[in-house]
Amino acid sequence: MAKPTLTLNGKVVEFEPGQTILQVAQAVGVEIPTLCYLKDATPTGACRICLVEVKGARTLVASCAMPAGNGMEIQTDSQAVHTSRRLNIELLLASGSHNCLTCEKNGDCKLQALAYRYGITDIRFAGQTQQYPKDESNPLIVRDFSRCILCGRCVQACNDLQVNRAIGYGYRGAASKIVTTGDRPYQESDCVFCGQCVEACPVGALTEKKAVGLARSWETKQVRTTCPYCGVGCQMWLHVKDGRVVKVTAVEDAQPNRGMLCVKGRFGYDFIHSPERLTTPLIKGEDGQHHPATWDQALDFVAKRLKEIKKKHGADAIAGVSCARSINEDSYNMQKLFRGVIGTNNIDHCART
């Protein structure tokens, strides 16, 4: 059966039933700017930046929430669209306290980028903006709601993607704010500090506390790696300045984590530069102290002791517990070593404890 078609900026394109206008545009490489749209979450149409003109429609429509229809004629960058987007960006800027110089997100902010792209140099709308004290009460996330544009991406990231349901919209009208249950600090709420809300926030309202003041986005290079913590193998970016990891974010479209991380992967990187980190094996001497050794010395020592124990007490005097952080292949090799080489079935895995 022939696929439905629509006309996008004068060009006829096919689409899959159920796709939104935004998804159709993205599929054929037509860029429509967005702020609140979060992939894999239910569209909200909150920010009105992705507005497009659909022939015959009474108003401009939010392309993230509007299903594509057969025969639609759509303009993504007409004068009406441009004027409306510009106005909405101005209103968002006017609704908060946006001093980019003092903002941690300077250079990596979608609102700032849109303001520049749409040539906004003055805010025409003066008014009383809601001021919130910066919440720095927990060790991992800074919340600065004076910069919040109420796009809702953090709520969707928490509820739809991570399914933690720790935050939602609170209060009403100009006092609207993203809150935990009872508007308590994160550390007193259901928050598990996965940091997905921070990753989703397009502006400087939610930022990584440990990264404050360490680097502007243009000063870092991003190095892709695999999370060192467990066998899932989540894909992450290390943001590195002068050889130092300043923060960690998820790789958006990569398996298996598809842009998500847990608290360990996102925030547990202090060990990399810890002066207490072990950098060589240690062998306990007869003096009871641990002494640095090479890997060859350490492995020879372990093999010698295992052989001695087996000879004296039998193979079942030895047991192995492998690590839940290991990959499947390492766990397989561990049981092979114990069953096939040492000769015992005393092999287990710490995930069962």
Q: Using CB under 6 A, list all residues that contact ligand SF4.
A: 98-100, 103, 105-106, 109, 111-112, 147-154, 157-158, 162, 164, 166-167, 178, 186, 191-197, 200-201, 203-206
Residue 307 CA, chain-centre distance (Å), reads: 48
Comparing CA positions, the residue from 122, 170, 164 lying closest to residue 145 is 170
> Within 13 Å, how many C-alpha atoms sit on residue 298's CB side?
11
Distance of alpha carbon 221 from alpha carbon 273, whole angstroms: 17
Distance of alpha carbon 272 from alpha carbon 270, whole angstroms: 5
Distance of alpha carbon 296 from alpha carbon 280, whole angstroms: 11
Residues, the chain: 353
Supply angle C-alpha 309, 314, 320, rounded to 5: 70
Comparing CA positions, the residue from 265, 111, 148 lying closest to residue 195 is 265
Q: What is the dihedral of CA 295, 297, 299, 300, to 10 degrees?
A: 160
Q: How far from 167 is each of 161, 173, 188, 208, CA to CA, in Å?
A: 13, 18, 12, 17
Comparing CA positions, the residue from 324, 348, 325, 323 lying closest to residue 335 is 348
Q: Residue 118 has what DSSP assignment?
A: T
Q: Which tokens belong to 306?
A: 């295992």
